[in-house]
A and B are shown apart, each in its own frame.
Chain A
Amino acid sequence: MRRCVLFSLIALAVVSLVAAPMFAQAPVTAKPAPAAKAWTMPRTPDGKPDLQGVYSNATTVPVARPANLGAKEFYESEEEKAAIAAAAAAVAAGRAGRGGAARPAAAADPEGNGLAVHYDNGQFGLGGSSAKRVASLRTSIITGPEGRVPAMLPEAAKIIADRRAYQQAHQWDSAQNRPLAERCITWGFEGPPMMPVGYNSTLEIVQGQGYVAIVQEMIHDTRVIPTDGRPHGPAEIKRWMGDSVGHWEGDTLVVETVNYNPLVLIQGGPVSDAAKVIERFTRVDADTVQYQFTVDDPKTWVKPFSGEYNMVHIDGPVYEYACHEGNYGMANNLSGARATEKK
């Protein structure tokens, strides 16, 4: 028992020393921790760090830190992480039985989320356990003592509230009233910042002369990012994935994105015309690229927020996710809604 505690303390000390730079609230300028073993950064033929490859950015780390963890940015060990998760699950299960929302029997509710009328994700390998992930002891993707998005400014919160109110009354009126993901316009995780997706959380990086191209599988969204020092495009041209330009700072690719389509949401907040997102890509070993981001939208959030996770190399490829082309669901949903209204 004592050895266990001692080990945990040592592990915590080592972890704290190694991770010290990651606790900085402004990782835009923080340098990544150096690799523990001798390793040479691979380079493309024109001498830039080689970020190329197919990656999984699937993770078990939640975007926002569980409230009960406070300012704890890292678990001390896998064991501690498992114990805390099990306790939380037990509480949730208990809550359901004690007069919480009625839940269908587990057999008819494979997702355990009340959506009984759903195919079995696990049968299609979409259940999460089949995705390759980097082990991580982070308690949240969002970094810093709060580990969650900051408060929204009242004007931004009002935009969201107004949209929600409109949706209540009109959500089945037409295809155009459905969420962007259901319309197969954007999935909502492409960003930037790029966020892990529930399944098919895969992306590919290809570097050509003067450009870094990133394709995210969901939903075949491609950014071809110039690194030739050009300015952003015209502000009149709003884009679903914003307007990205990049440059190299040492061995880190720094990408700045502005001019988002006003219907885009980042972590539930509307993206204003003042929004600026910074991403930093750094290869840290043969299999891993560290991804850091900062969202700075002074018209939406009371302060900027940042996040970090690692992506791990997988044997590709990125498979085509032609969403709109196969979107029977849109017609089926609307047809179902019309049929229900007739009753």
Chain B
Amino acid sequence: MRNKLATVFAGAGMLLAVAPVRAHHAFAAEFNEKAPLKLQGVVTKWELVNPHSWIHLDVKGPDGKITSWMVEGGSPNSLFRNGFTKESLPEGTEIIVEGYQAKDGANRAVGANLTYAKDGKRLFMGGSAPGSNGDGK
């Protein structure tokens, strides 16, 4: 029987039976593609919530002033399935966020690319298979 092969299927490059992400989230209204930014800061809180997780970080400006930012990321559920927990991004971790700022001007951004400041490695499951959703580089 054909479908008895319950194997893990890498699916690289394959079409997914999905509705586009925009069906659920209008990023275009929330964040400004004309306002790209790069933040370097220290994690103060990692909100493992849905529909999007949020990393809170304190960013020190050139004048030494600290500004609090919150950065939108993806649903944490798949991270859990891959063994990540709330301990996986401890307070005090220094990260770099490349993304886009909120349209309403708040200290809020979407994090298109998240890396550790110390070694430049991508947070979580950064090394996605080429051709699948995720690795645009």
Contact = CB atoms under 8 A, between A and B. Distances in A.
Q: Do any beta carbons of A and B sit within 8 angstroms of each other in the complex?
A: yes
A110 B72 contact: no
B62 interface: no
A287 to B, nearest CB: 4
B87 interface: no
A35 interface: yes
Interface in A206-225: 217, 219
B108 A332 contact: yes
A181 B9 CA distance: 28
A152 to B, nearest CB: 18
A134 B99 CA distance: 35
B129 to A, nearest CB: 5
Nearest to B80: A319
Contacts of A129: 10-12, 128-129, 132-133
A323 B75 CA distance: 10
Interface residues of B, number: 78
A197 interface: yes
Q: Is the interface of A mostly helix, strand, loop or mixed?
A: loop
Contacts of B73: 119, 123-124
B79 interface: yes
A62 interface: yes
A18 B128 contact: no
B136 interface: yes
A200 interface: yes
A153 interface: no
A109 B137 CA distance: 9
A28 interface: no
Contacts of A81: 14
Interface in B46-95: 47, 49-54, 72-82
Q: How large is the interface on A (under 10, 10 to 19, 20 to 34, 35 or more residues)?
A: 35 or more
A227 to B, nearest CB: 25
Give the one of B1, B11, B17, B76 with max A CB within 10 A: B17
Nearest to B71: A119
Nearest to B100: A117
A179 B21 CA distance: 13
Contact of A335 (B33, B49, B80, B104): B104
B23 A179 contact: yes
Contact of B110 (A118, A130, A287): A118
Give the one of A121, A124, A128, A141 with max B CB within 10 A: A124
A122 B135 contact: yes
A200 B2 CA distance: 25
Give the one of A135, A179, A202 with max B CB within 10 A: A135
B78 A123 contact: no
A60 B6 contact: no
B22 interface: yes
Contacts of B17: 59-63, 141, 195-196
Interface of B: 1-33, 36, 47, 49-54, 72-82, 99-100, 102-106, 108, 110-114, 122-126, 128-129, 132-137
5 contacts: A108-B136, A124-B125, A128-B133, A184-B51, A199-B78
Closest 3 CB pairs of A and B: A122-B134, A124-B74, A122-B128
